[in-house]
């Protein structure tokens, strides 16, 4: 029997000054998903983040927005996963991805962290890279010295629209992901 996703984590940074920045696309998707599923986030100190529980036909799915800042995201993920005995393969992490063109989506299990501090910390805290990733493309500024300023700034109006479109498409593909239909989900999410 294939494992199903029981925890969806959206990566971002807490605080108003980061709300509209590229690094917060994971939060943007989770906010849309919570609205769609009609659930509300609650601040949960023991899980170092904002948490919501959605009841789906396939069982409960936890939504988590770590409030630890990006480089300590794993603290929140590990706390909730350990408490509810959720395996790494039952976790989907939604995050911004510099190495993918703006508006494109990639879905995969495991792999490296590409220098993404949120993924790096989650891998370290879970002790494995084997969790699912939904990577939302934000483009690369062209020079690695510009990356920090780039991810911590607002996208242009055009890029924001492309990101919003990729979030809408991700939500369309999510039922296949939640049902463990990995090939179908990948085909749909990777298509233009």
Q: What is the pLDDT along the chain (192 residues), one digit of tens a residue?
A: 467 899 999 999 999 999 999 999 999 999 999 999 999 999 999 999 999 999 987 789 999 999 999 999 999 999 999 999 999 999 999 999 999 999 999 999 999 988 899 999 999 999 999 999 999 999 999 998 999 999 999 999 999 999 999 999 999 999 999 988 999 999 999 997
Q: Is 1 contained in some domain?
A: no
Distance of alpha carbon 115 from the chain centroid: 16
Token pair listed for 182 = 């990995």
Domains: count for the chain: 1
Query: Is 2 within a domain?
Result: no
Per the domain annotation, does 118 fall within a domain? yes
Residue 18: domain span: 7-190
The answer to the question of whether 145 is labelled as a binding residue is: no
69 is in an annotated binding site: yes
SS3 166: helix
Q: Which residues are catalytic?
A: 23
């Amino acid at each position: 029997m294939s494992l199903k996703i029981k925890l969806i984590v959206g990566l971002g940074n807490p605080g108003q000054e980061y709300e509209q920045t590229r690094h917060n696309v994971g939060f943007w998707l989770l906010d849309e998903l919570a609205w769609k599923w009609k659930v509300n986030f609650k601040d949960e100190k023991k899980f170092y983040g904002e948490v919501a529980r959605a009841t789906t036909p396939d069982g409960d799915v936890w939504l988590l927005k770590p409030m630890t800042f990006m480089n300590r995201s794993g603290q929140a993920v590990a706390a909730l996963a350990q408490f509810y005995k959720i395996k790494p393969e039952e976790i989907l992490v939604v995050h911004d991805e510099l190495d993918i063109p703006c508006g494109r989506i990639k879905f995969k299990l495991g792999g490296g962290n590409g220098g993404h501090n949120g993924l790096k910390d989650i891998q370290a805290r879970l002790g494995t890279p084997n969790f699912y990733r939904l990577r939302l493309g934000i483009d690369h500024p062209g020079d690695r010295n510009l990356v920090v300023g780039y991810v911590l700034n607002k996208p242009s109006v055009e890029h924001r629209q492309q990101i919003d479109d990729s979030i809408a498409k991700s939500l369309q593909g999510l039922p296949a992901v939640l049902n463990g239909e990995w090939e179908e989900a990948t085909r749909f999410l990777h298509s233009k």
